[in-house]
């Protein structure tokens, strides 16, 4: 829970964290609604319950850092500064979407804010993030102001081979990367303890002599400080870190999952640990926010999300003539670009 | 022109590209200290150092994915996967990331990656180490797959692949590494996606790629003595596939035999035969035939291995059957 001493913090920064958390909450609730109204297709995974982790991690990043995310990444895009309208437009599959309607909810890319993707294949991003860190190290040596890479992954992802191969390479080659296990305690419906022989997941880094730590993912400041320390190690020493944040998913795995595997105890815990009201109450108690100011921020978030939905609604569907755009950087003359049923060659009857 | 081995042409190309562009680096198992399982990278670690020539642990998924991530950042990695058989450990990264990141990002990121890997049987390496799986990759939009058959193309296509902004799989072949041929001196960049007519002919078109194209050419030369004029088309690129050159040749000769080292069902020959029947249907005087590998996991015993792989005898027989009363 939010227990960090607030007296040393800049109140304006704290209010900004709350503003970001409120925006993510409002955005995700609205995304769920839009999904049930069939405005969003495919899969849709929400950051509800992870807002403190999202904002804490992104607060630790600098503009020049790179972020690789999972398929549960709307909040990270928003907190990194992506335009909410373009994020919603991507969810709606529109031309103005962050990925021009090619990726959808699971594949948000925005190179302007160095968000190098959400990834739909579990753990697919881990070797890539390791490679981005390799590229940074290839170009420059360690320095306190050097850029670094943050790689997000879920708790269940620590069981795949690519996770272990990547950690080994990063430690062996001293790459400036911070791996963050966003442990929301469930891999779809499977509890961590049922999937990992070492359920204290951060300890898996010990096999690679990689420093690590488990922190309370419901405490935005604790998350931020741990991530900042890890990023500093990455920048200044090219020392990778395995950080674990523990929070709890408020809803199902995706919007369509009713989460029947949850017990009544779980549900009670959800209410108790929900990071958003906890942080708000903490800020109000510390005199950083008044109730009225908090309500105002919440209302602003709702307004921003309503504007995002309007933007997405008015953005056109991508034109079919653009179907083959962006598949190749350097198209070749002989590439086949037929639609289903089109002839394969120009050679008809004599 | 200089006569070089296929191996030397690859080696010299890697060296030239390392010299030309600091963003080019090599990555793979045993490519440095050991100088490469097939010695393509011999001497390059000593010349360029471990920053440019990086030995990896055995972790194909990890280092291939790492190379893709480095390519997203603007580097131009050239990955050696020791044989195409081991690429299966990395196939998720190749198919789901390398091939798709440009599309998924709406064109925001590119993956200028090269994967060099040899395929092919005939070395008594048995079932797990003798496969021709390139068609798996040629199936996937977003990838390019080239397969040099000649020493000149070993240079030209590898150079083109390294300078290309898309992920390119360069299929090498164990049986070709020691072959020799003329290689253009200086700058030589082939066009990816263009087939080549290795030998013109009138009576039949033989289509192949990699080792199969070399055997096809040899067979075609021998058939000249028997009065059969065979045209040999070397695909050079499996994706994109140069359908125009293939169909133009068959429209001229009216007959086609496809030679492929992969398995027959769903293999490259199936795609080529379908292309020909659509693009040259009214010109065909005989069914399109395929000479492909027998559909078994390739056995170790030499007699069985030889029986399973396409050879000059089988190709000659099928050509004679196709040409028929000619």
For the segment B27-64, what is each residue's pLDDT rounded down to a tens digit? 999 999 999 999 999 999 999 999 999 999 999 999 99
Q: What is the CATH number of the domain that holds B293?
A: 3.40.50.920
Q: Does A2 score more than 80 pLDDT?
A: no
Q: What is the ipTM of this complex?
A: 0.96
| Nearest-Cα residue of chain A relative to residue B250 | A347
**Contact with chain B for residue A160, Cβ under 8 A:** no
Q: Are residues B233 and B276 in the same domain?
A: yes
Length of chain B counted residue by residue: 326
Could you tell me if residue B82 is inside a domain?
yes
Helix (H, G, I), strand (E, B) or coil at A272: helix
**Contact with chain B for residue A282, Cβ under 8 A:** no
Instruction: Provide the pLDDT confidence category of residue A350 given band limits of 50, 70 and 90.
Output: very low
Q: Does A3 score more than 80 pLDDT?
A: no
User: In percent, how much of chain A has pLDDT > 90?
Assistant: 88
Q: Which residues of B touch A121 (CB under 8 A)?
A: 92, 96-97
Q: Are residues B79 and B137 in the same domain?
A: yes
Of A37-51, A200-214, A220-234, A266-280, the range with the lowest mean pLDDT is A266-280
Q: For residue A104, what are its two tokens?
A: 């959808």
Interior/surface letters B111-139, b for 16+ CB within 10 angstroms, e for the rest: bbbbbbbbbbbbeebeeebbbbbbbbbbe
pLDDT of residue A298: 98
Q: Do A166 and B66 touch (CB under 8 A)?
A: yes
Mutation for B interface: A169, A172, A327, A332, most B CBs within 10 A: A332
Mutation for B interface: A127, A151, A174, A337, most B CBs within 10 A: A127
Q: Does B325 score more than 80 pLDDT?
A: no
Q: Which of B137, B126, B215 is nearest to B176 (CA)?
A: B215
Q: Do B93 and A127 touch (CB under 8 A)?
A: yes
Mark which residues 101-160 of B lie under 8 Å from A by CB. Answer: 101-110, 112, 141-142, 144
Q: Are residues B135 and B255 in the same domain?
A: no
- Residue whose entry in the numeric block shows the structure tokens 């195409």: B84
User: In percent, how much of chain A has pLDDT > 70?
Assistant: 97
Average pLDDT of every residue of chain A: 95
| Nearest-Cα residue of chain B relative to residue A67 | B69
Residue of A109, A325, A343 lying closest to B109 (CB–CB) = A109
Q: What is the mean pLDDT of residues A39-46?
A: 95
CB B149 within 8 A of CB B214: yes
Give the largest Cα separation in chain A, rounded.
85
Q: Does A4 score more than 70 pLDDT?
A: no
**Contact with chain A for residue B164, Cβ under 8 A:** yes
Pairwise CA distance, residues A228 & A232, whole Å: 6
Continuous segment of H or E residues that includes residue A149 = strand A149-154
Q: Which one is catalytic: B17, B29, B60, B172?
A: B60
For the segment B246-276, what is each residue's pLDDT rounded down to a tens digit? 999 999 999 999 999 999 999 999 999 999 9
**How would you classify residue A15: left for phi > 0, otherwise alpha for psi between -120 and 50, otherwise beta?**
alpha
pLDDT of residue A347: 47
pLDDT of residue A333: 87
Q: Do B59 and A165 touch (CB under 8 A)?
A: yes
CB A21 within 8 A of CB A7: no
Active site residue B60: yes
Q: A212 pairs with which residues across the strands?
A: A242
Cis before A192 (ω within 30)? no
Q: Which is more confident, A58 or A2? A: A58
Pairwise CA distance, residues B44 & B62, whole Å: 23
Q: What is the CATH number of the domain that holds B96?
A: 3.40.50.970
Instruction: Report strand pairing: B2-5 vs B180-183.
Output: antiparallel
Taken in order A12, A17, A21, A26, is the CA torsion positive or negative?
positive
Q: Are residues B155 and B7 in the same domain?
A: yes
Q: Are residues B141 and B200 in the same domain?
A: no
Q: Are residues B291 and B214 in the same domain?
A: yes
**Contact with chain B for residue A328, Cβ under 8 A:** yes
Pairwise CA distance, residues A103 & A115, whole Å: 14
- Residue whose entry in the numeric block shows the structure tokens 């059957």: B321
Q: Are residues B177 and B64 in the same domain?
A: yes
For the segment A226-249, what is each residue's pLDDT rounded down to a tens digit? 999 999 999 999 999 999 999 998
Where a domain ends, among B155, B183, B211?
A: B183
Q: Which is more confident, B121 or B180? A: B180
Mark which residues 297-326 of B lie under 8 Å from A by CB. Answer: none
Q: What is the mean pLDDT of residues A132-146?
A: 97
CB A238 within 8 A of CB A178: no
pTM over 0.95: yes
Where a domain ends, among B126, B153, B183?
A: B183
**Contact with chain B for residue A147, Cβ under 8 A:** no
Pairwise CA distance, residues A339 & A115, whole Å: 32
Q: Are residues B59 and B11 in the same domain?
A: yes
Q: Are residues B176 and B223 in the same domain?
A: no
How far lies B131's CA from each of A66, B29, B157, B207, B260, in Å? 39, 19, 22, 20, 12
Rounded to a whole number of angstroms, the distance from the CA of B69 to the nearest CA of chain A is: 4
Q: Are residues B241 and B166 in the same domain?
A: no
Q: For residue A286, what are its two tokens?
A: 């510390």
For the segment A338-348, what is each residue's pLDDT rounded down to a tens digit? 999 999 885 44
Rounded to a whole number of angstroms, the distance from the CA of B313 to the nearest CA of chain A is: 32
Q: Do A162 and B62 touch (CB under 8 A)?
A: yes
Q: What is the mean pLDDT of residues B138-146?
A: 98
Q: Which of B123, B173, B166, B127 is nearest to B143 (CA)?
A: B166
Q: Which one is catalytic: B129, B172, B260, B271?
A: B129
Of A270-274, B86-90, B111-115, B219-223, the range with the lowest mean pLDDT is A270-274
CATH number of A11-322: 3.40.50.970
Of A91-95, A267-271, B169-173, the range with the lowest mean pLDDT is A267-271
Pairwise CA distance, residues A46 & A27, whole Å: 9
Q: Which is more confident, A331 or B19? A: B19
Rounded to a whole number of angstroms, the distance from the CA of A321 to the nearest CA of chain B is: 14
Q: Are residues B49 and B147 in the same domain?
A: yes
Mutation for A interface: B108, B140, B189, B283, most A CBs within 10 A: B108
| Nearest-Cα residue of chain A relative to residue B191 | A332
DSSP-H helix ranges across chain A: 11-36, 51-60, 74-80, 84-91, 125-139, 161-172, 192-195, 220-237, 264-273, 275-285, 291-314
How many CA atoms are closer than 13 Å to the CA of A80, on its beta-carbon side?
A: 28
Q: Does B326 score more than 70 pLDDT?
A: no
For the segment A93-117, what is each residue's pLDDT rounded down to a tens digit? 999 999 999 999 999 999 999 999 9
What would the 3-class secondary structure string for chain B be? Answer: CEEEEHHHHHHHHHHHHHHHCCCEEEEECCCCCCCCCCCCCCCHHHHHCCCCEEECCCCHHHHHHHHHHHHHCCCEEEEECCCHHHHHHHHHHHHHHHCCHHHHCCCCCCCCCEEEEEECCCCCCCHHHCCCCHHHHHCCCCCEEECCCCHHHHHHHHHHHHHCCCCEEEEEECCCCCCEEEECCCCCCCCCCCCEEEECCCCEEEEECCHHHHHHHHHHHHHHCCCCCEEEEECCEEECCCHHHHHHHHHHHCCEEEEEEEECCCCHHHHHHHHHHHHCHHHCCCCCEEEEECCCCCCCCHHHHHHHCCCHHHHHHHHHHHHCCC
- Into how many domains does chain B fold? 2
Which domain, by its residues, includes B14? 2-183
Q: Which residues of A touch B163 (CB under 8 A)?
A: none
User: Other C-beta atoms within 10 Å of B86: how many?
Assistant: 16
Rounded to a whole number of angstroms, the distance from the CA of B302 to the nearest CA of chain A is: 36
Mark which residues 245-264 of B lie under 8 Å from A by CB. Answer: 247, 251
Helix (H, G, I), strand (E, B) or coil at A179: strand
Mutation for B interface: A330, A331, A339, most B CBs within 10 A: A330
Pairwise CA distance, residues A325 & B112, whole Å: 17
Instruction: Provide the pLDDT confidence category of residue A271 given band limits of 50, 70 and 90.
Output: confident
Q: Are residues B247 and B297 in the same domain?
A: yes
**Contact with chain A for residue B64, Cβ under 8 A:** yes
pLDDT of residue A209: 97
């Amino acid at each position: 829970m939010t227990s960090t001493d607030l007296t040393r913090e800049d109140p304006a920064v704290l209010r900004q964290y709350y503003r970001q958390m409120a925006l993510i909450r409002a955005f995700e609730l609205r995304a769920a609604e839009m999904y049930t109204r069939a405005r969003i297709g495919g899969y849709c995974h929400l950051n509800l319950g992870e807002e403190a982790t999202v904002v804490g991690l992104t607060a630790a990043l600098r503009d020049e850092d790179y972020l690789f995310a999972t398929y549960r990444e709307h909040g990270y895009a928003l907190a990194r500064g992506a335009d909410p309208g373009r994020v919603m437009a991507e969810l709606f599959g529109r031309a103005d979407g962050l990925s021009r309607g090619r990726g959808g909810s699971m594949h948000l890319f925005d190179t302007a804010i160095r968000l190098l993707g959400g990834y739909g294949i579990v753990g697919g991003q881990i070797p890539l993030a390791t490679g981005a860190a390799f590229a940074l190290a290839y170009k420059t040596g360690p320095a306190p102001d050097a850029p670094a890479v943050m790689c997000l992954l879920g708790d269940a992802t620590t069981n795949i081979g690519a996770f272990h191969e990547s950690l080994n390479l990063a430690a062996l080659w001293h790459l400036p990367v911070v791996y963050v296990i966003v442990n929301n305690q469930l891999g779809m419906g499977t509890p961590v303890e049922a999937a990992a022989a070492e359920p204290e997941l951060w300890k898996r880094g010990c096999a690679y002599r990689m420093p690590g730590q488990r922190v309370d993912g419901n405490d935005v400041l604790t998350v931020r400080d741990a991530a900042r320390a890890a990023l500093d190690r990455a920048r200044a020493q090219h020392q990778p870190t395995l950080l674990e944040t523990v929070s709890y998913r408020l809803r199902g795995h995706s919007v369509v999952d009713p989460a029947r595997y949850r017990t009544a105890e779980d549900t009670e815990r959800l209410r108790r640990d929900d990071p958003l009201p906890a942080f708000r109450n903490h800020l109000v108690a510390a005199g950083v926010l008044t109730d009225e100011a908090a309500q105002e921020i919440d209302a602003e978030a709702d307004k921003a999300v309503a504007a995002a939905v309007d933007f997405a609604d008015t953005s056109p569907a991508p034109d079919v003539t653009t179907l083959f755009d962006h598949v190749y950087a350097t198209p070749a003359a002989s590439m086949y670009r037929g639609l289903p049923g089109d002839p394969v060659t120009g050679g008809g009857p004599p | 022109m200089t006569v070089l081995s296929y191996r030397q042409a690859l080696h010299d190309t890697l060296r030239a590209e390392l010299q030309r562009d600091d963003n080019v680096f090599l990555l793979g198992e045993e490519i440095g200290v050991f100088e490469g399982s097939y010695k393509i990278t011999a001497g390059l670690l000593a010349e360029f150092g471990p920053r440019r020539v990086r030995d990896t642990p055995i972790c194909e998924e990890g280092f291939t994915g790492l190379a893709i991530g480095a390519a997203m950042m603007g580097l131009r990695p050239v990955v050696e996967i020791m044989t195409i058989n081991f690429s299966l450990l990395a196939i998720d990264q190749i198919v789901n990331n390398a091939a798709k990141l440009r599309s998924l990002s709406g064109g925001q990121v590119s993956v200028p990656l090269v994967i060099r890997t040899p395929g092919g049987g005939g070395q008594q390496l048995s079932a797990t180490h003798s496969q021709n799986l390139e068609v798996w990759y040629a199936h996937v939009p977003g990838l390019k797959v080239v397969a040099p058959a000649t020493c000149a193309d070993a240079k030209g296509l590898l150079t083109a692949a390294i300078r290309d902004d898309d992920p390119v799989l360069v299929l090498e072949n164990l049986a070709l590494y020691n072959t020799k041929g003329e290689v253009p001196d200086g700058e030589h960049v082939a066009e990816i996606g263009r087939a080549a007519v290795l030998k013109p002919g009138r009576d039949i078109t033989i289509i192949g790629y990699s080792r199969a194209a070399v055997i096809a050419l040899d067979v075609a030369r021998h058939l000249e003595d028997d009065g059969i004029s065979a045209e040999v088309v070397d695909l050079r690129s499996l994706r994109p596939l140069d359908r125009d050159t293939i169909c133009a040749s068959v429209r001229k000769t009216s007959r086609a035999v496809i030679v492929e080292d992969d398995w027959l069902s769903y293999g490259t020959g199936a795609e080529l035969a379908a292309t020909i029947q659509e693009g040259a249907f009214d010109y065909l005087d005989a069914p399109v035939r395929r000479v492909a590998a027998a559909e078994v996991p390739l056995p170790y015993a030499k007699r069985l291995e030889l029986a399973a792989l396409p050879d000059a005898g089988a190709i000659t027989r099928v050509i004679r059957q196709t040409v028929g009363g000619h």
